[in-house]
Amino acid sequence: MHAPRIAEKATPYWWEAAPLKPLARQPLPRKLDVLIVGAGYAGLSAGLVLAREGRSVAAFDAMDPGEGASTRNGGITSGSIRPDYATLSRRFGEEKALAIEAEGKAAREFLYEFIKTEGIACDFQPVGQFKGAFGFEQYEAMARTAERLANKLKIEAYAVPYVEQRKYIGTDVYRGGTVRMDIGGLQPAKFHAELLRVALASGLTVHTRTSVVSIERDDAGFRVVTAAGQVQARQVLVCTNGYTDGAVPFLRRRLVPVRSRIIATEELAPEVMARLMPKRMMITENREVGFYYRPSPDGKRILLGGRDSSRVGDPVAPKLLLRKGLINLFPELEAVRLSHSWFGNVAMNRDMLPRIFQKDGIVYATGFCGSGVVWAPWIGMHAAHKLMGNDEQARTAFDFRPPAFIPFYRGNPWFMPAFIQTYRMRDRIALWRASR
């Protein structure tokens, strides 16, 4: 029996306006200053910086340009850090915690400046983000966070009480929320295509549909075996994030790929959109496994995303779960049809922090934990400076040790479905407590 079709297309909505385009095959270089594995946002932004500094540099990607997470994501320029400020302070001390948060601000500004100065046509809209609270206590805590962000980092952030909520979002599910005006939305596939355009024009060579198979250290640097042949590289940068495979076993044991899925509605009437998303903001929730959603750049549909605990195939259950979430938020969409439903891999690690690190001479830029629209270009740029020995420009609060090893794990995240279910259960308990 066929599973019921709940969306017309299983490819990203973004690919309608910015389809994946195969690149012409390039001759294989014998030698390189830097070989980059992965041509998503991180690999391309590193390659762009290196090429502009005159390095001979090439990025190799197993798939078409951007076919990983970089053309599949929600396009929300959140730059979030999973651990909250209190957790970061406990772990690293207040100074480092603040430095980490401050770098989020710097990374967002870097992205916006890059879009402006390079003329990147990616439908970027600095519309702000609303974060919904599921309980009044949570709302109070979130309001304090917004106040701290406003005072300490001078970010335009404020609380929205329950009675004002409908000015921001057409649902009563939340008990108020907070707004951050430093976050916006872009069209991720257009952003990738434009980043690729600028990187190629700067002298980066991109070899797509060409996997890196193995990397071995030798006297001259690294001997890299690719699907097209062998390359000698002085330095290697790994930017494979949620698509990391056996070519980099050290990383594979420390990074867990997790599916994230998005559904897109058909076009909705302008008055419906104006009622449900009056300010066209990006939306998120304060749950462990919450939803993120937004209007399409033309303001005609809603795109809603969340974790997908499936690991193989394209089962219908995760789509139904997202659809149920959408209807719960906006009951008037009960009969809405979905035009698209797709997924991609994000990469989680044990401390849930993005990072640059070096191990056995190889530099890694990775672990974006579902927030790479801001972090991947930023960390990629810093990784490029690290490779060139530009200490000042390479300085970042995210130059950490490698992520911790995950026991009994070699790249097959068998535990992930149970993990996500546990977090969903914790969310349900928190919701029940908040509603008493």
Contact 120, 110 (CB under 8 A): no
262 binds ligand FAD (CB under 6 A): yes
73 binds ligand FAD (CB under 6 A): yes
Kindly tell me which of 135 and 349 has the beta carbon lying closer to ligand FAD.
349
Binds ligand FAD (CB under 6 A): choice among 6, 63, 200, 289: 63
Question: Closest distance between ligand FAD and the C-beta of residue 163, in Å?
Answer: 29
Supply angle C-alpha 332, 177, 110, rounded to 5: 105
Binds ligand FAD (CB under 6 A): choice among 32, 247, 276, 326: 247
Q: Which stretch binds ligand FAD (CB under 6 A): 84-92, 170-178, 198-206, 236-244?
A: 236-244
Local structure of 283: helix, strand or coil = strand
Kindly tell me which of 135 and 240 has the beta carbon lying closer to ligand FAD.
240
Question: Closest distance between ligand FAD and the C-beta of residue 353, in Å?
Answer: 13
Listed in sequence order, the DSSP H helices in 64-219 are 85-92, 94-117, 136-153, 188-201
Kindly tell me which of 12 and 135 has the beta carbon lying closer to ligand FAD.
12
Contact 320, 8 (CB under 8 A): no
Binds ligand FAD (CB under 6 A): choice among 205, 240, 296, 341: 240
Distance CA 387, CA 391 (A): 9
Strand 31-37 vs strand 177-180: parallel, antiparallel, or unpaired? unpaired
Q: Token pair for residue 341?
A: 């439903």
Question: Closest distance between ligand FAD and the C-beta of residue 435, in Å?
Answer: 28
Q: Token pair for residue 65?
A: 């340009």
Length of the chain: 436
Please give the size of the binding site for ligand FAD, defined by CB under 6 A. 45
Among the listed residues 254, 258, 256, the one whose alpha carbon sits nearest the alpha carbon of residue 404 = 254
Task: Return the number of other C-beta atoms located less than 10 Å from residue 234's C-beta.
Answer: 16
Q: Residues of 125-156 as b/e, b for ≥16 C-beta within 10 angstroms? A: bebbbbbbbbbeebbeebbebbeebeeeeebe
Sign of the alpha-carbon dihedral angle for 73, 182, 398, 378 = positive
Which residues on adjacent β-strands are paired with residue 341? Answer: 263
Contact 322, 263 (CB under 8 A): yes
Binding mask 176-215 for ligand FAD (x = CB under 6 A): -----------------------------------xx---
Q: Which stretch binds ligand FAD (CB under 6 A): 14-22, 109-117, 216-224, 243-251?
A: 243-251
Binds ligand FAD (CB under 6 A): choice among 159, 376, 406, 420: 376
Q: Which stretch binds ligand FAD (CB under 6 A): 61-69, 91-99, 165-173, 389-397?
A: 61-69
Binds ligand FAD (CB under 6 A): choice among 32, 42, 122, 157: 42
Kindly tell me which of 37 and 57 has the beta carbon lying closer to ligand FAD.
37
Contact 116, 124 (CB under 8 A): no
Kindly tell me which of 75 and 221 has the beta carbon lying closer to ligand FAD.
75
Kindly tell me which of 125 and 143 has the beta carbon lying closer to ligand FAD.
125
Kindly tell me which of 237 and 239 has the beta carbon lying closer to ligand FAD.
239
Binding mask 283-312 for ligand FAD (x = CB under 6 A): ---------x------------x-------
Kindly tell me which of 89 and 211 has the beta carbon lying closer to ligand FAD.
211
User: In one letter, which amino acid is 309?
Assistant: S
Kindly tell me which of 78 and 286 has the beta carbon lying closer to ligand FAD.
78
Question: Closest distance between ligand FAD and the C-beta of residue 434, in Å?
Answer: 25
Task: Return the number of other C-beta atoms located less than 10 Å from residue 87's C-beta.
Answer: 14
Question: Closest distance between ligand FAD and the C-beta of residue 433, in Å?
Answer: 28
Among the listed residues 167, 203, 244, 208, the one whose alpha carbon sits nearest the alpha carbon of residue 23 = 208
Kindly tell me which of 42 and 88 has the beta carbon lying closer to ligand FAD.
42
Kindly tell me which of 41 and 330 has the beta carbon lying closer to ligand FAD.
41
Q: How many CA atoms lie within 13 A of 201 on its CB side?
A: 7
**Residue 234 host element (H or E):** strand 229-238
Q: Which stretch binds ligand FAD (CB under 6 A): 89-97, 116-124, 244-252, 394-402?
A: 244-252
Among the listed residues 123, 71, 96, the one whose alpha carbon sits nearest the alpha carbon of residue 372 = 71
| Contacting positions for ligand FAD (CB under 6 A) | 37-38, 40-43, 60-63, 67-70, 72-76, 78, 211-212, 239-245, 247, 260, 262, 292, 305, 343-346, 368, 370-374, 376
